[in-house]
Amino acid sequence: MGQAQSDEEKEVTLQNIQELYRKFASECPSGNLHLHEFKRIFGVSSNSMEEESAYMENVFRSFDTNQDNKIDFMEYVAALHLVLRGKLEDKLRWSFKVYDRDGNGRLDRREVQHLVKIIYKLKKQNDASTQENIDDICDRIFEFVDKNKDGQISLEEFIEGAEKDPWVMDQLKLDFRPSGWFIEQREKHP
């Protein structure tokens, strides 16, 4: 008969979107979400590491599709839709865009080390053993993903590697849990 809905599919209903808009409008009376507000939502403050801040700026820019340095409600809903309900390949394409700091369409070893370091910091797994293992994690990612062994990861290699290897997927994924934030905010302000 009908397919059972996953928890993620059940999380955002029309009523949730209406509530989200009400919350968005009250938190962002200008109708726009600015970078400093975006960082605050994800717990990145002025006291955060420069790397975390730069990473969140890349994420912000990826959601700011018209590049006007603010996220309007439609961009915000599109971002939530991608993160909550987007297909795996779309999420991986978006992740690659965020990780490709220089925009050249390839991830080099420095970019991968940087992203692994930031992901672990933002996941709050910032213990000494993790920091010592970043080079090892990076080496292993390149071993699994860089199929042509050119020292760079293309978008195609990135998608293929992440889809085929759960460990690689876990290392390259930052689970923002925006649905958790949304639910938490809704409970604070009924």
Domain ranges, ordered by start, for the chain: 13-188
Distance CA 134, CA 137 (A): 5
52 pLDDT more than 80: no
Q: Which residue would you say has higher pLDDT here, 78 or 12?
A: 78
pTM: 0.68
Pick the CATH number of 13-188 from 3.40.630.10, 3.40.50.10320, 1.10.238.10, 1.10.150.530: 1.10.238.10
* Range from 37-41, 86-90, 123-127, 145-149 carrying the lowest mean pLDDT: 123-127
Average pLDDT over residues 122-151: 78
Task: Note whether 163 and 179 are within 8 A (CB).
Answer: no
Q: Which residue would you say has higher pLDDT here, 60 or 20?
A: 60
179 pLDDT more than 60: no
* Range from 82-86, 93-97, 114-118, 167-171 carrying the lowest mean pLDDT: 82-86
- CB under 8 A, 24+ apart: contacts of 101-110: 101/58, 105/154, 105/155, 106/152, 106/153, 106/154, 107/152, 107/153, 107/158, 108/151, 108/152, 109/138, 109/142, 109/151
Q: Which residue would you say has higher pLDDT here, 78 or 80?
A: 78
173 pLDDT more than 80: no
